[in-house]
Structure 1
């Protein structure tokens, strides 16, 4: 309970925001911390990448359902004809490509295809 309420909440607070932009070195260090916490708690805990993916998908689904969300119209404009997929955004810079919205669309499309 301590891990979930204190450690995990601090670690994953901004996971959706920096999920696509996190450096490999930092993700590895966070995963090492999570693994060490799991051994102390006595449970196998999810990796940072798994938590980021789940949080991002949950956020995209929330945005698609909430018509008052500022990004709702942007995502609805990206809907492909007849399918559940979202069209990718044009990204001119690597920084934008790794930001929330393009990363979330790619992740959403990969999950829609697998279902």
Structure 2
């Protein structure tokens, strides 16, 4: 697979390994994520949507047996949410609006079955990107630690957006979008990294 954003759409040169031509494909599955040559994530969204639809059916079947909301929410988090939000840090901020709406529609349907408010795609993407940014800032040996640390404002100590165009399309920029308006101390403190109690995750569960 070749990812090329240049203006000249010349065909890529053939690649040979051990005398055999390497086939060029428009999409490729890597570690459970569908990558396409335009990085639009539409192929991955289609695959996630199909899997989540199958699991939504089982969630509805479970709800038809008058199971309590806590069990339904546990089933959603274990079976359905794990499918929708797999590797969401990689693709969550880069998908198209129509693809995000498709997934949010599934999440909304699941919430109606569970009987409580469930975090949508944007909320989950933001929380997990902030968590990833905290991990980078708390680990001095991380390859991106020094790069992120240089983004601190000397005046307000806020995390600024990167100036380099290369970094703007990297995980630094994606995490920075979710972390906009936060101070650097908010990510490095143990109190900030502490997960929220389960009662705040799903409202209305008795």
Question: What displacement does 1:91 show?
Answer: 5.0
- Compare 69-78 and 50-59 and name the one that shifted more: 69-78
Q: Distance in 2 between matches of 1:77 and 1:98?
A: 17
* Higher percent of residues as strand: 2
State whether residues 89 and 102 of structure 1, in contact with CA within 8 Å, keep that contact through their aligned partners in structure 2. Answer: yes
Counterparts in 2 of 1:22-37, with a 5 A limit? 22-37=95-110
| Segments ≥4 residues shifted beyond 3 Å | 96-99
Deviations 1:73-108 (A, max 9, x none): 111122221433123213548xx6454211212332
Unaligned 5+ runs, structure 1: none
Which of 80, 90, 103 in structure 1 is aligned with 2:174? 103
Deviations 1:34-57 (A, max 9, x none): 011111222211110011111111
Q: Distance in 2 between matches of 1:107 and 1:53?
A: 5
Counterparts in 2 of 1:1-115, with a 5 A limit? 1-90=74-163, 92=165, 97=168, 99-112=170-183
Q: Distance in 1 between matches of 2:170 and 2:94?
A: 6
State whether residues 31 and 48 of structure 1, in contact with CA within 8 Å, keep that contact through their aligned partners in structure 2. Answer: yes
Instruction: Report the CA distance shift for 1:51/1:12 in structure 2 as closer, same or farther (over 3 A).
Output: same
Could you state the TM-score of these two structures normalised by the residue count of structure 2? 0.49
Indicate the structure whose relative CO is greater, using CA pairs within 8 Å and at least 6 residues apart: 1
* Higher percent of residues as helix: 1
Question: What displacement does 1:22 show?
Answer: 1.4
If you compute each CA radius of gyration, which structure gives the higher value, 1 or 2? 2
Q: Distance in 1 between matches of 2:137 and 2:165?
A: 25
Unaligned 5+ runs, structure 2: 1-73, 187-206
> How many positions carry a matched residue from both structures?
112
Could you state the TM-score of these two structures normalised by the residue count of structure 1? 0.83
